[in-house]
């Protein structure tokens, strides 16, 4: 079994909460109030990141990682064993990709004598899960980058025909607040377009919060399925803001993770119509744990849409499919933000114009 040096780029941490979860069964063994995930979050506060990271690491080492070291294990074997045990107890797929997870417990006994040995052994073990989102990353490979670039997650404008437009670039803890601020000024427009194209996702809770700003109270936002098929129902806690006109969501193949969750919630609650191309197809939820020389990211649950649909590896097909050909991209007829920063130059954006045309049709009927 070879890893072929497979790596997923590291990125800053952010806290991921599920305050709207309603228990519908026996509580699973893992109970963590704050979940950390690797996401492309360039706006998170470094101080907040450090504070939550330290608290989370302490929690995990105390409750999950530290256990009595077997007498016949050296330090490197124990590092490997602790990862094996963590996955055994918390990985969401109880079949572990249709294999007996116990065979990995002593698979590298008497073979681990360095950090490099641990890295290779853990990587091989995790790769057997067949899960692109469960992997290890050496701390020495992580780079510290500035998270304050000045770039905002939300871009809002008023288009011709008095149509509101909000582009969400990524989903962070702050995104829902910025979205609501912009939404208030667009409620009385003839319609609203929410552009999620090229949105890689982020924190699932941001998707729940944004959808809550548009849904009625007690609306179903989806389901979180944990290990053992324990299901948690996620509902809104209060009524959102009423929009005067119809809502369109723009999506494409780079719309992923939390952005797909938002799309599913609004579409399946009949709040919005989706336009564009099939989305990426990611609905698994990850935790991370800290070890002496590396980080482990692993899947602990999966999200199902309000209609109980599993979109993993399949994505969401838009209500109105508007595909972009190679010729369209060559002629710069793709998303307007690929070619500049001013939405006034959006006349060539085929998908956006299809959404505008649909909105006008809906308003006139």
pLDDT of residue 152: 80
C-beta of residue 234 within 8 angstroms of C-beta of residue 287: no
**Count of C-beta atoms within a 10 Å radius of residue 47:** 8
114-133 as b/e, with b when 16 or more CB fall inside 10 Å?
ebebbbbbbbebbbebebeb
* CATH code, domain with 307: 3.90.226.10
Domain range holding 86? 13-141
Q: How much of the chain exceeds pLDDT 70, in percent?
A: 78
Do 209 and 254 share a structural domain? yes
Find the helix or strand (DSSP H, E) in which 297 lies: strand 294-304
Pairwise CA distance, residues 203 & 258, whole Å: 6
Partnered with residue 37 across adjacent β-strands are 14
Do 80 and 113 share a structural domain? yes
Do 123 and 176 share a structural domain? no
- Domain stops at, among 141, 175, 195: 141
Do 326 and 218 share a structural domain? yes
Side-chain-side CA neighbours of residue 223 (13 Å): 16
pLDDT of residue 45: 41
Q: Name the token pair of 361.
A: 């049709």
Do 183 and 315 share a structural domain? yes
Write out pLDDT tens, residues 231-275.
999 999 989 998 999 999 999 999 999 999 999 999 999 999 999
Do 130 and 163 share a structural domain? no
Do 184 and 257 share a structural domain? yes
Label residue 338 by pLDDT band (50, 70, 90): very high
Partnered with residue 226 across adjacent β-strands are 301
Do 194 and 97 share a structural domain? no
Higher-confidence position of 272 and 51: 272
User: Stretch 324-330: mean pLDDT, rounded?
Assistant: 92
pLDDT of residue 20: 36
Distance of CA 277 to the CA centre of its chain: 19
Domain assignment present for residue 2? The answer is no
Do 195 and 328 share a structural domain? yes
Tally of structural domains, the chain: 2
Residues composing the chain: 365
Distances (CA, A) of 271 to 25, 180, 191, 246: 29, 16, 12, 8
Domain assignment present for residue 124? The answer is yes
Do 133 and 163 share a structural domain? no
Do 186 and 244 share a structural domain? yes
- Domain stops at, among 87, 106, 141: 141
Do 98 and 171 share a structural domain? no
Find the helix or strand (DSSP H, E) in which 320 lies: strand 320-321
């Amino acid at each position: 079994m070879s890893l072929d040096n497979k790596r997923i780029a590291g990125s800053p941490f952010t806290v991921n909460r599920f305050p709207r979860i309603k228990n519908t069964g026996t509580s699973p063994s893992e109970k963590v109030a704050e979940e950390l995930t690797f996401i492309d979050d360039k706006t998170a506060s470094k101080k907040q990141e450090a504070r939550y990271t330290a608290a989370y690491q302490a929690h995990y080492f105390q409750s999950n990682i530290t256990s009595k070291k077997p007498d016949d294990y050296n330090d490197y074997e124990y590092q490997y064993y602790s990862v094996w045990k963590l996955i055994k107890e918390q990985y969401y797929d109880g079949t572990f990709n249709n294999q007996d997870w116990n065979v990995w417990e002593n698979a590298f006994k008497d073979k681990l004598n360095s950090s490099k040995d641990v890295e290779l052994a853990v990587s091989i073990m995790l790769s057997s899960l067949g899960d692109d989102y469960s992997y290890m990353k050496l701390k020495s490979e992580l780079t510290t980058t500035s998270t304050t670039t000045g770039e905002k997650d939300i871009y809002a404008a008023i288009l011709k025909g008095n149509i509101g437009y909000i582009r969400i670039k990524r989903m962070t803890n702050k995104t829902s607040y910025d979205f609501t601020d912009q939404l208030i000024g667009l409620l009385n427009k003839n319609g609203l377009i929410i552009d999620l194209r090229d949105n890689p996702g982020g924190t699932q809770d941001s998707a729940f919060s944004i959808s809550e700003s548009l849904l009625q109270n007690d609306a179903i936002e989806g389901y979180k399925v944990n290990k053992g098929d324990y299901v948690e129902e996620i509902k809104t806690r209060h009524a959102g803001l009423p929009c005067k006109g119809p809502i369109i969501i723009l999506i494409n193949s780079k719309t992923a993770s939390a952005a797909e969750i938002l799309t599913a919630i609004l579409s399946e609650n009949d709040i919005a119509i989706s336009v564009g191309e099939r989305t990426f197809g990611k609905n698994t939820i990850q935790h991370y744990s800290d070890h002496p020389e590396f980080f482990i990211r692993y899947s602990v649950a999966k999200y199902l849409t309000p209609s109980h649909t599993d979109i993993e590896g399949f994505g969401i097909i838009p209500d109105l499919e508007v595909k972009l050909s190679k010729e369209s991209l060559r002629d710069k007829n793709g998303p307007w933000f690929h070619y500049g920063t001013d939405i006034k130059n959006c006349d060539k954006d085929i998908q956006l114009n299809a959404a505008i045309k649909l909105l006008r049709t809906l308003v006139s009927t």
